[in-house]
Amino acid sequence: MQIALIDSSGPEPVPLNTTGPLIGIIGSGDYSRSLALRLVLSGYRVMVGSRCPDRVVSSLFPDGVEICSQAEMAAAVDGMVFVAVYPEYYPTLTGLREQLAGKVLIDVSNAAQLRAEGQSNAERLAEIFPRSKVVKAFNVVSAWALQAGAQDGSRQVLVCSDHQDSKSSVLQLARQLGFIPVDQGGLRASKQIEEAPLILFPSWGGPILTTFLIFLFFYFYIFLRSVLLPYLDHGANTFSQLPLIIVNQTLPVVALVTLALVYLPGLLAAVLQLYRETKYQRFPGWLDRWLCSRKQLGLLSFLAALLHAIYSMCLTLRKAAHYNLLNEAYQQVHAGLEDSRVESQVWRSDLYLTCGILGFGVLALLAITSLPSVGNTLNWREFTFVQSGLGYAALTLSTMHTLFFGWNFAFLPRSYPYHMPPVFLLALILPCVVLTGRFLLALPCFSLKLTMIRRGWESPSKLCEAEAAQNFDNV
């Protein structure tokens, strides 16, 4: 991404505040410039230490930033110094060891690639400057975010250090610059912080893969059942259904199954707790991970439902639909049939459309509340109500949508060509399991015991009850 060197949308560089605290930067690259700009705008004085200051195009820096040699800078600044050079050049800075002793060095570098072993850049810097206080911060922030004042991209700044006081002053600085600092503890966390930018959407990998595999399976199932086999069987050419029709038959199935997968782990967890008669045991890892990816699964299910909705609303735009209508009209005229209306079909289509639309609407509400800014305005009970209450409403409605769609076709022999059941039957299995499970767990016999367990009760002998019962947990 190319960076505009002065952000025109943001405020103009204001005259240098000559009383503000002085902060130093080693290096004169883009990052250094953007950093200088943000610091000046926040009322700090900035000194940039360069190897060959005379060569630096000072016009690229905001007014009032002083450009000098690294040594001069290191000597002048007695507070914080940003190290904005590539890690491989840290050794070239050893000369500054004396002047930087006792001062705060902020390491802003990223990891080049994921490495299992080896120390982090910040740790190496700390080795080179044993008497300075190294703080890891700002690496996840782009030069752009620094200039535009954190308008887009992340505003979170992960900070860690072994020097508590230096760390808190950097946390303070980050806040002053308009970012949201997050304290990550000791410098040993720096490796993870440096590698954070290398992992794209860590929490999305699993859910996306799952959804994609579900899509593939059902797409090929439908392809086989309604295109390939009929073609091989009696040469019926319906390949023109591949791009749109079959996709639009697959998407609702994906949406429904994925939505069921959102609520299945919660049930499993409950069953596990009922069986163990305690909640004080860790869940197996897979269940833990599953529980943590419910939000992603839910959003992917919504995406599939959305696409299904758009596809369906475009169905009548298709030339094929156009032709079918004309041909049917032709047939009807030739058959001399005055009214072709079949009341039951009218009811069927209206009912499944209604359920579908309402289910989609509820799902959309869910998706909206999962926007951070909206979720933040809910207290946790409201959030739970929306996520679980509305969630099951959506699941029920979309299941009814599918049932009405299926109508009585499941009982007609012609719905099983080549002994393959219609896809909506397969789609219904998981949701029905989940809804039944949910219903059973709602029965007093189970729900009461579950509440006790979640309030911390345990079958005697495991834990002194007084303790167990008195523990407050906001679940």
Residues 289-308 that bind its own copies (CB under 8 A): 289, 291-292, 295, 303, 306-307
Sign of the alpha-carbon dihedral angle for 322, 354, 363, 443: negative
How remote is the C-alpha of 318 from its chain's centroid?
35
Shortest reach from residue 134's CB to its own copies, in Å: 15
Taking the complex as a whole, the smallest distance from the CB of residue 138 to its own copies amounts, in Å, to 9
153 or 421: whose CB is closer to its own copies? Answer: 153
Do 214 and 262 touch, CB atoms closer than 8 A? no
Distances (CA, A) of 41 to 13, 14, 171, 239, 377: 6, 6, 18, 62, 31
* Residue 33: CB minimum distance to its own copies, A: 8
Question: Does the protein bind its own copies through residue 317 (CB under 8 A)?
Answer: yes
State whether residue 182 is helix, strand or coil: strand
Q: How far is the CB of 142 from its own copies (least distance, A)?
A: 3
Q: In terms of CB distance, is 421 or 454 closer to its own copies?
A: 454
Choose among 312, 208, 203: nearest CA to 261: 208
Which C-beta is closer to its own copies: that of 79 or that of 426?
A: 79
What are the two backbone dihedrals, phi and then psi, of residue 157, each rounded to the nearest 5 degrees?
Answer: -120, 115
Of residues 52-111, those binding its own copies (CB under 8 A)? 52, 55-57, 59-60, 84-86, 88-89, 92, 108-110
Stretch that binds its own copies, among 266-274, 413-421, 430-438, 439-447 (CB under 8 A): 266-274
49 and 55 in contact (C-beta within 8 Å)? no
Q: Does 119 bind its own copies (CB under 8 A)?
A: no
DSSP code at position 54: G
Chain positions 186 to 215 lying near its own copies, rule: CB under 8 A, are 186, 188-189, 192, 196-198, 200-203
* The Cα angle at residue 43 between residues 39 and 48, in degrees rounded to 5: 40
Residues 374-393 that bind its own copies (CB under 8 A): 374-385, 387-388
SS3 of residue 240 by DSSP: helix
Q: Considering the rule CB under 8 A, would residue 7 count as an interface residue with its own copies?
A: yes
Of positions 69, 119, 169, 312, contacts its own copies by CB under 8 A: 312
- Beta-sheet pairing, 22-26 with 45-50: parallel
Closest CB to its own copies among 367 and 420? 367
Segment near its own copies (CB under 8 A); pick from 71-79, 126-134, 237-245, 394-402: 237-245
Burial (CB count <10 Å: 0-12, 13-18, 19+), residue 253: buried
- What's the distance, Cα to Cα, between the start and end of the chain in Å? 44
Q: Could you tell me the two tokens for 53? A: 């200051």
**Cα torsion angle, 401, 407, 411, 412, sign:** negative
Dihedral sign (CA 156, 162, 168, 173): negative
Listed ranges 256-264, 368-376, 405-413, 426-434: which one lies at the site for its own copies (CB under 8 A): 368-376
Q: Which of 225, 279, 401, 438 binds its own copies (CB under 8 A)?
A: 279
- By CB under 8 A, what part of segment 446-465 binds its own copies? 456, 463-464
Residue 432 CB, shortest distance to its own copies, in Å, is 22
How far is the CA of 50 from the CAs of 53, 96, 234, 437, in angstroms? 5, 12, 78, 67
CA distance 263 to 298: 9
Residue 340 interacting with its own copies (CB under 8 A): yes
Residues between 129 and 188 that touch its own copies (CB under 8 A): 139-145, 149-156, 158, 160, 162, 164, 167, 171, 176, 178, 180, 182-186, 188
Q: Which two tokens stand for residue 346?
A: 């009218």
Binding-residue total with its own copies (CB under 8 A): 177
Find the binder of its own copies among 116, 130, 373, 418 (CB under 8 A).
373
What residues between 12 and 31 interact with its own copies by CB under 8 A?
Answer: 12, 14-15, 17, 19-20, 27-31
116 binds its own copies (CB under 8 A): no
Does residue 311 touch its own copies according to CB under 8 A? yes
Q: Which stretch binds its own copies (CB under 8 A): 39-47, 405-413, 425-433, 434-442?
A: 39-47
